[in-house]
Structure 1
């Protein structure tokens, strides 16, 4: 069965039109048909696209869902695909979707790994020495490097920028929102997804984190 890009029912609002345009562009990039949810033929959705108010899709659609936020507008500054990656438990499904999306767009992939100080840091009486913090950060950089290495080999044409940030996951991704054409994260949805939909200003792809 041929995969398609599915556009959920939208209205004539600015956000509805933006979601429809995004779905049309995605279908063109993937060279796939674009279908509405009430199309009679059976199909397999490569991507399902909707407005942020259609957030319930994240609980019902088994594949990748892209939600286009209120007020979204294309910008030439938005050139990157931004990936939120859990480098310790990387998901093949999420990484594959992000690398594939970057390749389709001829875009740079920004792979963002958020980390936190280990529990023992809280017990240090005079704060965290810079040497210790740098050592922990170097370890996080290596963890991300190893998580991405097989995907760099599979997609050698995709330029990858790795970023390891001592932020919460949402803060780390929002740090790159001004240049994000698309933010890709794993599901199931939670506080990170809700924050991105509210504050990122760009389409957010939520990919079920199975298969890795």
Structure 2
């Protein structure tokens, strides 16, 4: 069975941004796009549904995407039930699931919705969360790279492969970021005490060697991807949020089991670019 890119949509403009991102990704992979809308409204009478027509949401988005991307193979599907379990079921045969980081519900100012959190924490495939508004625009230079979060001591092959593939397909640089532990007694991104610089530099050198060894086989596998390896001796979540403003896509791994870890959860709440969460 051919795998598909799944875009989960609702009535929000945020989900349409995510669906358009999914369309570009489906085209780059040469895969069909499945636009899915999940509603719990089955069984209600027509007066209770008016003016909301749940059966029209996914076809309308699919038609808009087909008009903008004539080469796109796109289908639509309406499912009934709770959104997160329905999308998790879709993840079994999906290349990836793309969602708005927040849907039409929730409180004002909420950056990460419950459905996005649940799906990203348990899906069988990569989950891409697309923020909206200022959250997904760079305030500095033009984003032109994929940033990959790597723990050089415990590298996540799924996330690494996803990041390299994306950089290759888009012709982007790959920024590989390893956030190592700071020298003893230091908590910030740069050493503060007078005796710290030597210890900091020595530790950074050791972490850089470790990262280079981890990435060497991937560089050999993807010789045409431009790779920048980077070590920061700082809290991983804060380091990734800071660098997200200069990336088109930030890729993090997710451990075995359900739920996002502390780093991925923090990044998902505060990222300034699109985030991909890739299961082990």
- Which of the five TM-score ranges fits, normalised by the shorter chain? 0.7 to 0.9
The SS at the match of 1:6 is strand
- For 2:10, the equivalent position in structure 1 comes to 11
SS of aligned partner of 2:142? coil
In the alignment, which of 89, 95, 107 is matched to residue 46 of structure 1? 95
RMSD of Structure 2 on Structure 1 (CA) = 2.3
For residues 126-151 of structure 1, the C-alpha deviation after alignment (integer angstroms, 9 at most, x for no partner) is 76432222111100000000011000
User: TM-score, normalised to structure 1's length?
Assistant: 0.87
Q: Is the 8 A contact 2:3 2:93 kept in 1?
A: yes
Distance 2:137 2:21 in 1: 9
Once the two structures are TM-superposed, the CA of residue 186 in structure 1 deviates from its matched residue by: 0.5
Give per-residue Cα distances to partners, 1:56-80, cap 9 Å, x unaligned.
1123311111011232556781211
Question: How far did residue 16 of structure 1 move?
Answer: 1.2
Q: Does 1:103 align with 2:174?
A: no
1:205 aligns with 2:254: no
Task: Give me the whole-angstrom Cα distance separating, in 2, the residues matched to 1:193 and 1:59.
Answer: 9
2:53 corresponding residue in structure 1: none
Confirm or deny: 8 A CA contact 2:241 2:272 kept in the other structure: no
Answering whether residue 178 of structure 2 is matched by residue 113 of structure 1, we say yes
2:125 is aligned with 1:60: no
- Give runs of aligned pairs for residues 140-159 of structure 1, distance below 5 A: 140-159=207-226
Tell me how far 1:194 sits from its aligned partner: 2.4
For the 8 Å contact 1:183–1:205, the answer to whether it is kept is yes
Q: 2:190 is matched with which residue?
A: none
Which segment drifts farther, 133-142 or 191-200?
Answer: 191-200
Check conservation: 2:130, 2:136, Cα contact below 8 A: no
Q: Tell me how far 1:114 sits from its aligned partner.
A: 0.2
Instruction: Decide whether the 8 Å contact of 2:23 with 2:33 is kept in 1.
Output: yes
Task: Please state how far the C-alpha of 1:173 moved relative to its aligned partner.
Answer: 1.4
Where does residue 92 of structure 1 map in the other structure? 157
**How many angstroms apart in 1 are the aligned matches of 2:209 and 2:143?**
28
Number of aligned positions between the proteins: 203
Tell me how far apart the structure 2 counterparts of residues 68 and 27 of structure 1 sit (CA, whole Å): 15
Residue 99 of structure 1 contacts residue 109 of structure 1 at CA under 8 Å; is this kept in 2? yes
Q: Distance in 2 between matches of 1:103 and 1:18?
A: 23
> 2:181, 2:158 → 1: CA distance?
25
